[in-house]
Amino acid sequence: MLHKTEGIVIRTTDYGETNKIITLLSREHGKTAVMARGAKRPKSRFASSTQLFVYGSFIYQKSQGMGSLSQSDIIDSFKEVRNDLMLTAYGAYIVEMIDKLTDDNDKNPYLFELLYQLLHHLNEGDDGEILIRILETKMLAFSGSPPTLHECAHCRRTDLPFVFSLKFGGALCTACSHEDKYHLKASPSVMKLLRLFQQINPSRIGKISVKPDNKRQLKEILALYYQEYIGIHLKSKRFLDQVEKFSQQDVDS
């Protein structure tokens, strides 16, 4: 059976000397693996369209097992993401997290729209660090472990300032903060941002300016939350950490 879909390449795997397996995320089919025969050859008609991050139109033949790519056309290559090391690191983190936390053939148009908007805004020069914090917050819901952010996870009050508790899985009001002596600092701005990230429609993602201290709090809270509740290992995280470190050294020098 012939399938046609618009999708984004979220993973590529070499197969033999000349072939490549690409994993697409699409609105219609969710995550799908397709064999692109000869795609590793420099003059292959699939060479460009099967690169990581490419948003394209793909036609593939599939009966049983893995599909075989027949035709492909690029809609958007997200050129800046592919050509800038820092943006590539952010992009790799985005696609790997989505890949790790989704099942094959699980149709989810919302997730596709989220991925497209994140890559689009990354390509347009928006703050990559904030974009991946939006991703991390939203993927917690897909994983079934969203933090409690709108009320105290212990007493359900909403009228007091919050800290963040890994023990209780989210916001903890100042009256209950003694219940978790290892609670994390979370400024009112950080809690507001987490709620925004959790709720914002992907199509409404835009430029968001965040102070450095709030960025550090967001990064710490989400990293520890993932460690406590999700437990995934992303190869791209190590790469991103290294690139961010080198980038900061350049700023400081």
- Give the pLDDT of residue 17: 94
Confidence of residue 128 (pLDDT cuts 50, 70, 90): very high
User: d(Cα 189, Cα 217) in Å, to the nearest integer?
Assistant: 10
- Give the pLDDT of residue 177: 97
The yes-or-no verdict on residue 23 having pLDDT over 90 is: yes
Task: Spell out the domains of the chain, with CATH numbers in brackets.
Answer: 2-77 (2.40.50.140), 83-147+179-252 (1.20.1440)
User: Contact, 69 vs 60, CB < 8 A?
Assistant: yes
The yes-or-no verdict on residue 250 having pLDDT over 80 is: no
Compute the average pLDDT of residues 118-135. 97
* Neighbouring C-beta atoms of residue 105, cutoff 10 Å: 10
What is the sign of the dihedral through the CA atoms of 212, 117, 236 and 75? negative
- Give the pLDDT of residue 253: 56
SS (H, E, C) 21-41: EEEEEECCCEEEEEEECCCCC
User: d(Cα 252, Cα 75) in Å, to the nearest integer?
Assistant: 39
Confidence of residue 146 (pLDDT cuts 50, 70, 90): very high
Compute the average pLDDT of residues 132-150. 97
- Give the pLDDT of residue 54: 99
Question: pTM of this prediction?
Answer: 0.94
Confidence of residue 62 (pLDDT cuts 50, 70, 90): confident
User: d(Cα 30, Cα 104) in Å, to the nearest integer?
Assistant: 7
DSSP state of 2: E
Express as a percent the part of the chain with pLDDT over 90. 93
Confidence of residue 252 (pLDDT cuts 50, 70, 90): low
The yes-or-no verdict on residue 27 having pLDDT over 60 is: yes
Confidence of residue 1 (pLDDT cuts 50, 70, 90): confident
SS (H, E, C) 134-195: HHHHHHHHHCCCCCECCCCCCCCCCCCCEEEECCCCEEEECCCHHHCCCCECCCHHHHHHHH
* Neighbouring C-beta atoms of residue 32, cutoff 10 Å: 21
User: d(Cα 38, Cα 10) in Å, to the nearest integer?
Assistant: 19
In tens, the pLDDT along 28-37 reads: 999 999 999 9
Measure Cα distances from 99 to 22, 80, 198, 232, 247 in Å. 12, 22, 19, 11, 26
Tell me which residue of 61, 62, 72, 63 sits closest to 12, measured CA to CA: 72
Encoded amino acid at 29, one letter: H
